[in-house]
């Protein structure tokens, strides 16, 4: 991975970003955080609706119709800005344990959101009448939210990979 990161850092786009890093990197990171706000806000509103703590004047379907597209759009922005950050600073990103745990959780979070939306579209009535009020569904809603919280925290910890001590590949370089 270190070798791949070093190769990536020699590519044209990476060198362009590195040459303007004084403003390009902070700009990309700021856009990334704005998009995180949109994504975590959307997940939060759907989870609050499942918990029965907000949006009870709306059906679950109406709630996901409202926030689903923003979640998807936000994720695309995150993917694009995140990709640029990896290209611009490959070693800083790829040679950390925080980054890889984060990527794993992003995959889990995205999968859960996708399966949920497909299932809701298919079993609309079931969800509104039965599934949504189950305790297990509510626990899953809390867990999903915590996954996104962990993703945000791990994202910031990429800059502080030493917190993982000897688990961090950066410490061995």
Partner 1 sequence: MDITTFLASLESSGIATGIRNSLYIFPLIESTHVFGLAMVFGTIAIIDFRLLGVASTRRSFRRMASDILKWTWAAFAVTAATGALMFITNAGVYYHNFFFRTKMVMLVLAGINMLVFELTAGRSIDRWDKEPLSPLIGRATAVLSLAIWISIIFLGRWIGFTTTRATPAPPPEINFDNIFPGTPDGTVPTAPPNTR
Given the rule CB under 8 A, which residues bind partner 1?
22, 25-27, 29-30, 33-34, 36-42, 44-45, 48, 53-55, 57-58, 66, 70, 149, 152-157, 159-160, 162-167, 171-172
Of 25 and 119, the one with the shorter C-beta distance to partner 1 is 25
Minimum Å gap between C-beta 95 and partner 1 is: 14
Minimum Å gap between C-beta 104 and partner 1 is: 17
Minimum Å gap between C-beta 163 and partner 1 is: 5
CA distance 117 to 41: 17
Structural contact between residues 84 and 129, judged by C-beta atoms closer than 8 angstroms: no
Place of tokens 């990197």: 25
Helix axes of 21-51 and 60-88: crossing angle, nearest 10 degrees: 160
CA distance 117 to 113: 6
Tokens describing residue 66? 């409202």
Minimum Å gap between C-beta 2 and partner 1 is: 13
| Burial group, residue 173, by CB count within 10 angstroms (0-12, 13-18, 19+) | exposed
Minimum Å gap between C-beta 161 and partner 1 is: 9
| Burial group, residue 129, by CB count within 10 angstroms (0-12, 13-18, 19+) | exposed
Of 69 and 126, the one with the shorter C-beta distance to partner 1 is 69
């Amino acid at each position: 991975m270190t070798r791949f990161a070093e190769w990536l850092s020699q590519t044209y786009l990476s060198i362009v970003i590195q040459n303007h890093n004084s403003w390009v990197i902070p700009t990309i990171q700021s856009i990334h955080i704005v998009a995180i706000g949109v994504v975590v806000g959307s997940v939060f509103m759907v989870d609050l609706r499942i918990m029965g703590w907000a949006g009870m004047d709306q059906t679950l379907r109406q709630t996901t119709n409202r926030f689903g597209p923003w979640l998807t759009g936000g994720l695309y922005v995150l993917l694009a800005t995140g990709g640029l950050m990896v290209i611009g600073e490959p070693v800083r990103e790829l040679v950390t344990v925080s980054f890889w745990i984060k990527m794993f959780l992003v995959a889990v979070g995205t999968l859960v959101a996708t399966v949920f939306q497909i299932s809701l579209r298919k079993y609309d009535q079931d969800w509104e009448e039965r599934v949504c009020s189950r305790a297990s569904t509510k626990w899953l809603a809390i867990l999903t939210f915590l996954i996104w919280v962990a993703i945000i925290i791990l994202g910031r910890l990429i800059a502080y990979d030493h917190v993982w001590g000897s688990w961090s590949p950066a410490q061995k370089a």
